């Protein structure tokens, strides 16, 4: 795809459903870096000190921690999600998590110094970023609430209702870890929810 055509397409993605204003999208595409990643590539690894925030333009990623030999998936990042280790971005601490592609993924990478410069110079960007951060906070709080109040079956039902397309895109082992259960339990839940032939 020609560069100008690609940038126009990415601008449409960023402005989809009023995700951000056209002026902000154009500025970010000019100042940021478009990065193409393959399935299983890492955007961030544990120990990373890169202070940057990425916006998923297309594809799918996951954020996970490593606990011994176990991977604990804490977030699934579809299109227009923010991908970063906030402790690293905000405080410059070495990263404690991994961000890896579930699918081939394109991200817009924004360095800390670029974001800080825009925050000082562009009130529209500051307003857009404020809204994005509030959305990210709301998603984090919702995830905490589901783990406090719902069992694994209800968490799967809630995710299916909210983002049904993810059921086909997220591998079973990652999905099971994300809702806090095993692959076998997810398969059983799905079996219970699947209508049996011959029954209404």
Q: Compute how many other C-beta atoms are within 10 angstroms of the C-beta atom of residue 178.
A: 23
Percentage of residues in the chain having pLDDT higher than 70: 94
Instruction: Map out the domains of the chain with their CATH numbers.
Output: 3-149 (2.60.120.10)
Q: Please state, in angstroms and rounded to a whole number, the distance separating the CA atoms of residues 123 and 51.
A: 22
3-class DSSP state of 33: strand
* pTM of the complete model: 0.88
CA 83 to chain centroid = 5
What is the C-alpha to C-alpha distance for residues 168 and 177, in angstroms, rounded to an integer? Answer: 16
Most confident of 58-62, 113-117, 180-184: 58-62
CA angle, residues 90, 149, 191, in degrees to nearest 5: 110
Q: What secondary structure, in 3-state letters, does 59-128 show?
A: CCEEEEEEECCEEEEEEEECCCCEECCHHHHHHCCCCCCEEEECCCEEEEEEEHHHHHHHHHHCHHHHHH
- For 126-158, what is each residue's pLDDT tens digit? 888 888 888 888 988 999 999 999 998 899 999
In tens, the pLDDT along 159-172 reads: 888 888 888 899 99
Give the 3-state secondary structure of residue 190.
helix
């Amino acid at each position: 795809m020609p560069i100008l055509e690609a940038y126009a397409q990415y601008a449409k993605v960023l402005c989809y459903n009023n995700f951000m204003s056209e002026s902000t999208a154009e500025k970010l595409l000019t100042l940021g870096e478009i990065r193409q990643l393959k399935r299983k590539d890492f955007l961030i690894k544990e120990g990373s000190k890169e202070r940057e925030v990425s916006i998923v333009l297309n594809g799918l990623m996951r954020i996970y921690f490593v606990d011994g030999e176990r991977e604990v998936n804490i977030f699934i990042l579809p299109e227009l999600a923010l991908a970063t280790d906030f402790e690293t971005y905000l405080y410059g601490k070495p990263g404690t998590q991994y961000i890896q592609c579930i699918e081939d993924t394109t991200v817009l990478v924004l360095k800390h110094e670029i974001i800080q410069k825009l925050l000082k110079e562009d009130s529209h960007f500051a307003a857009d970023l404020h809204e994005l951060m509030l959305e990210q906070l709301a998603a984090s709080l919702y995830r905490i609430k589901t783990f406090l109040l719902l069992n694994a079956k209800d968490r799967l039902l809630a995710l299916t209702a909210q983002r049904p397309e993810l059921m086909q895109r997220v591998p079973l082992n990652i999905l099971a870890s994300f809702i806090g259960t095993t692959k076998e339990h997810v398969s059983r839940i799905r079996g219970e929810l699947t209508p049996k032939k011959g029954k209404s």
